[in-house]
Amino acid sequence: MLTWDSTYEIVLTLMEHHPEIDVESIGTQQLYKLITALPNFGDDPLLVNDGILNDILREWYEEINTL
């Protein structure tokens, strides 16, 4: 089960489920919707903040740019 603390696992799951997403043009609100819609996401959606979402975006950007 994915939680907000599972930053790297969330990124890998997003890459698998949404390879078409341009990470540089996605906002935190869209990212929030993508994460909470993941089939194995099980955390409380109200526990997130912009810092967590920005960390996930940064991790996602770094992951796709190291391939």
The pLDDT tens digits along the chain (67 residues) read 999 999 999 999 999 999 999 999 999 999 999 999 999 999 999 999 999 999 999 999 999 988 5
Q: What integer pLDDT is reported at residue 67 of this predicted model?
A: 57
pLDDT tens-place string over residues 20-32: 999 999 999 999 9
Q: Cα(5)–Cα(67) distance, rounded to whole angstroms?
A: 23
Torsion of Cα atoms, 43 then 20 then 26 then 35, to 10°: 0
Q: Cα(56)–Cα(8) distance, rounded to whole angstroms?
A: 8
Q: What integer pLDDT is reported at residue 66 of this predicted model?
A: 81
